[in-house]
Amino acid sequence: METKKVIKTRIDTVLPMLDERQRRIYLAAESQSIGWGGKSIIAQLSSVTRRTIAKGETEIFIAEKYTSKNRIRKEGGGRKKSLNISPKCYKR
């Protein structure tokens, strides 16, 4: 098994270049490569929760669901336009 220092260096090098979903998947793959107790070790080294890594494992198993999408977050998220919230303010 690789030392924790080597794994930590690899994680610190790769994570800044990834988006949210890619981070989860990468950390899940790292934990699976370690085997038993891998989730806890990777959570400790990367400062993410075990739940985040578990979500990445789920995304690996249902990868075909995400391959067709280019979006990171769900559609319709984010701040709504003020015109939609209060249309009376913009009437003339």
Q: Is the pLDDT of residue 68 over 60?
A: no
Question: Domain residues for 35?
Answer: 4-67
How many domains, in total, are found in the chain? 1
Does residue 77 form part of some domain? no
Which residues, including other chains, have CB under 8 Å from residue 92's CB and lie 6 or more apart?
A: none
pTM of the model: 0.67
Would you put residue 77 in left (φ > 0), alpha (ψ -120 to 50) or beta? Answer: beta
Q: Is the pLDDT of residue 72 over 90?
A: no
Does residue 19 form part of some domain? yes
Which pLDDT does position 27 carry in this prediction?
93
The predicted model gives 7-14 an average pLDDT of 89
Q: pLDDT digit string (tens) for 29-64?
A: 999 988 899 899 999 888 899 899 998 888 888 875
